[in-house]
Amino acid sequence: MAEQQQDPVFQIQRVYLKEASLEQPNSPGILLEQEQPAVDIQLGVEAAQAADGVYEVCVTATVTTKVKDKTVFLVEAKQAGIFEIRNLPADQMSPIMGIACPQIVYPYLRGNVADIITRAGFPPVHLAEINFQAMYEQQQAEQQQAVEPSRIITTA
């Protein structure tokens, strides 16, 4: 009797705000500045296995605003999702956790970051839409380039 192949499973178990912080180290003086602040946004994605067939995928945003060299505010937020992923070929796991899962989690992160900044008394900073597939492919290309120079080619 042939082994029965099980259907692939991809389910969201939960999406939650894992971590959030807000700093205004130069308040209240910096709030009197008339100059428009410069905004720097950094994003990151990480994934880890939480249990058999269950994975946590986190998308982190760090938003820093400065006037000259002084920080107006700094927001760091980590939005996470727990996903049940089973019966998928091994070569599909990395793209699922690097593209599909972050695409699900990211809108929640965008809303939370805008909310934190607004509640702090600032105009909201809306994080742009992200093409996680392009981001994933760029990371893969960078990893491949890091590996290739270490190859030693000898000719006889």
pLDDT in tens, 61-85: 999 999 999 999 999 999 999 999 9
List the domains of the chain with CATH numbers: 9-150 (3.10.420.10)
* Prediction pTM value: 0.84
What are the CB-based long-range contacts (under 8 Å, 24+) for 41-46?
Answer: 41/125, 41/127, 41/128, 43/127, 43/130, 43/135, 45/98, 45/102, 45/132, 45/135
Provide the percentage of residues in the chain whose pLDDT is more than 70: 90
Contacts of residue 20, defined as CB under 8 A and 6 or more positions apart, other chains included, come to 75, 76, 77, 78, 112, 116
pLDDT of residue 60: 97
pLDDT tens-digit readout, 10-57 = 999 999 999 999 999 998 988 888 888 899 999 999 999 999 999 999
